[in-house]
A and B are shown apart, each in its own frame.
Chain A
Amino acid sequence: MAEIRLENVAHSYDGGSTFALNPISLTWKDGNAVALLGPSGCGKTTLLNIISGLLTPSVGRVYFDGVDVTDLDTAKRNVAQVFQFPVLYDTMTVRQNLAFPLKNRNVAKDVIAARVEEIAELLGISKYLDIRPLKLRSDLQQLVSLGRGLVRKDVPAILFDEPLTVIDQNFKWTLRGRLKEMHNNTRHTLVYVTHDQTEALTFADEVVVLNQGNIVQTGTASDLFLTPQDEFVGFFIGSPGMNFLDGKVNDGAVMVGSTRIGTTHSATTIANGNVRVGIRPEFLSIDVAGKGLPVEINRVEHRGGYKLVHADSAQGKFVAKLDNESALVAGQNVHLAFHPERTYLFRDSKVCGTVNVKGANK
């Protein structure tokens, strides 16, 4: 297992006129599980391919445990990879497929046999070991493919490119848990690319959010959810994402329309003027005292365990996540209270201040 360090790495697919990945420098600790999360075209797969050696970066160096591997190909870097779709040998049984990466490295037969059994058990594919992968459903084939990626213990890192795309919804839950458990036990260095935030957030010690070729924020699931540093992170993390409303700061008072949401935090006093007020659907509630922001409810979605209430205000549309007890109907006029400590102020899409509980919702 290895520490992975990128020094000023950037990549252009067209000889330098546009960059799919802008200069990035970072260090991932040995044994960490890192997720690269972002929409399609954000540069996450480019970054993964630079680490695996499938792609040589236009600029910058890649180090594994301090050793420069930039000019080494994938085989020489010795990393294990799992792709979005199954990559298997049809002429071999599942057992032989799983054993192949070990056999290639001249691992002792009994060690291989035991390791293959162990991995098959972890992935729940023990009963398919002696058949050929082509006879299996595509999601089972993908499990075998995952197994091939996980079977070797001596790799510097295991790289996953959207590995659960073809896995059934229900089984994803089980599998994600098993992968995390495996990581807790083995502490492999893992790099995991996905556009699915639940996968990224639950799996990784550290989530790297990318957008348009830039890293916009790196942190734990809680960091990204509770303290987004950028409007994109607010929007992209969370389901639904953060609401943004037009507001104003006036001598410390944070106003949305004529409603005072709170005061700016003393430590983050900001200049008077327009701001975007960001609040997650989870941190809005109905203010029965009628002091919050006046809104008209436009649609109520029952999500089973909770309700999503879509509302319109003069300052913009938004969504509140409320529990099932709240009896609300479309057309109703209510007041929404903002949880002040979870309300963030943005300028030029970057966070510029937070809100103090004092003087909230007046």
Chain B
Amino acid sequence: MSLVASKLSLTHNGEVFLEDISFTASPGITVLVGPTLSGKTTLMRVLAGLIKSDSGSITVNNVDVGAISVKDRSVSFVYQQFINYPSLTVFDNIASPLRVQKPKITKDEIKDRVHEVAQMLRITELLERKPSALSGGQQQRVAIARSLARKSDVVLLDEPLANLDFKLREQLRDELQRIFADANMMVIYSTAEPLEALDMAAHTIVMNEGRVEQDGKALDLYSRPNNLPVAQAMSDPPLNLISSSVATANSESIGSALREKFGGTFTIGIRPHNISLKSAGARDIAISGKVRIAEITGSSTYLHLDLENAQKIVLEIDGAQSFTSGSTMTVFLDRSAVYGFDPKTGATLFAPSAVR
């Protein structure tokens, strides 16, 4: 089983929505990750057949689905904004697509399937209720159950957790992984959140400006991004970017401190947890900045520093620590965690060899 997207492009009113998108999805979860407007939803709508691409093809299990009408495709779609029929019970909400399916499914089998997916999503005790009597998390479970009950070849989940509470998201994300782990279907799951992509630990595709930037295992994309957009799509808190001409604490430029890696000008990328208050070794790069604010979450502190030339960095420090706004301090970049990007093309010039 597989879904193969080949050279999909879509332009509308001169604006490029999708540009030459190709990838292969196997049974199980494929994650699409990228910022808002990177083309994730458009791609899903094209995969579902809701909009047609200008060029390219989609094959599911070796069949080109381009000529097949939407209602005859074996595909289910779950939206960010959960959609249920308000006048139907949860049971009927899940059963409704099965009742119109061809070839016809018997009543008993419909009942069995509804109960099977309800159990998977832990909503069995809600089957007789109306959606209005459910919480947001429960409603989204119903929408997901409906998409699973059809046993489509392709299930498209477009940021399905985005409208849910933070805690509920944690919980449902774990459950979705469990549910889809052995699923005999291609599940395409989109998210704007890097941690969600890392959590899923699945085949991951990074999208940016309508393009596929990189395709691989989530952790590989995190540690060895091809370019700056990939590094950014896989970083939360956001990746710090500093020009290589910014001065270090002993007033040489960061660029010269890294010259053995790469000469010339480049953009330094370093994640907030790889900058420390104390030097771990002589190979760290010391840099001075002025405290802007410190944000304390309890488990960590995000310290925002202003460097020279209006450059800004954020440090993630363990535990709660206070700092005085406006005071000057020296912090240390872990040299073994520094990325270098071409300032013009964004291509990765060097990356740390391993994740730290």
| A-to-B contact residues, CB < 8 Å | 39-41, 137, 139, 168-170, 173, 176-177, 180-181, 184, 195-198, 201-203, 220-222, 224-226, 235-241, 280, 282, 301-306, 324
- B128 on interface, CB distance cutoff 8 Å: no
Interface residues of B in 149-206 (CB under 8 A from A): 165-168, 170, 192-195, 198-199, 201
Q: How many residues of chain B get a CB closer than 8 Å to chain A's CBs?
A: 46
Apart from A168-B35, A301-B201, A305-B316, 4 more pairs, CB < 8 Å: A184-B293, A197-B166, A202-B296, A202-B297
| A40 contacts B135, C-beta separation under 8 Å | yes
Instruction: Enumerate chain A residues within 8 angstroms of B304, measured Cβ to Cβ.
Output: 177
Q: Tell whether A225 pairs with B298 under 8 Å between CB atoms, given A177-B304, A302-B198, A324-B356.
A: yes
Complex-state Cα separation, A64 to B344, whole angstroms = 54
Complex-state Cα separation, A271 to B123, whole angstroms = 40
User: Which of B168, B193, B316 interacts with A39 by CB under 8 Å?
Assistant: B168
Interface residues of B in 199-228 (CB under 8 A from A): 199, 201, 218-219, 222
* Most A C-beta atoms less than 10 A away, residue of B192, B218, B292, B298: B298
| A198 contacts B297, C-beta separation under 8 Å | yes
Q: Chain B binding site: helix, strand, loop or mixed by DSSP? A: mixed
| A304 contacts B198, C-beta separation under 8 Å | yes
- B70 on interface, CB distance cutoff 8 Å: no
Complex-state Cα separation, A198 to B170, whole angstroms = 14
Complex-state Cα separation, A225 to B165, whole angstroms = 19
| A170 contacts B298, C-beta separation under 8 Å | no
The 8 closest A-B pairs by CB, nearest first: A225-B298, A202-B295, A222-B320, A195-B165, A305-B273, A221-B298, A201-B297, A168-B36
A40 to chain B, nearest CB (A): 6
Complex-state Cα separation, A181 to B295, whole angstroms = 10
Q: Tell whether A176 pairs with B295 under 8 Å between CB atoms, given A137-B37, A196-B166, A305-B273.
A: yes
Q: Tell whether A222 pairs with B35 under 8 Å between CB atoms, given A40-B165, A170-B232, A304-B271.
A: no
| B271 contacts A305, C-beta separation under 8 Å | yes
* Most A C-beta atoms less than 10 A away, residue of B192, B295, B302: B295
Interface string of B317-338 (1 = CB under 8 A from A): 0101000010000000000000
Instruction: Enumerate chain A residues within 8 angstroms of B222, measured Cβ to Cβ.
Output: 302, 304
| A303 contacts B298, C-beta separation under 8 Å | no
User: Which of B273, B296, B298, B325 interacts with A237 by CB under 8 Å?
Assistant: B298
* Most B C-beta atoms less than 10 A away, residue of A39, A137, A139, A226: A39
Instruction: Enumerate chain A residues within 8 angstroms of B236, measured Cβ to Cβ.
Output: 169
Q: Tell whether A184 pairs with B295 under 8 Å between CB atoms, given A302-B355, A304-B198.
A: no
Closest partner residue, chain A, to B136 (CB atom): A40
Complex-state Cα separation, A203 to B274, whole angstroms = 23
Complex-state Cα separation, A170 to B74, whole angstroms = 35
- B238 on interface, CB distance cutoff 8 Å: yes
Instruction: Enumerate chain A residues within 8 angstroms of B235, measured Cβ to Cβ.
Output: 304
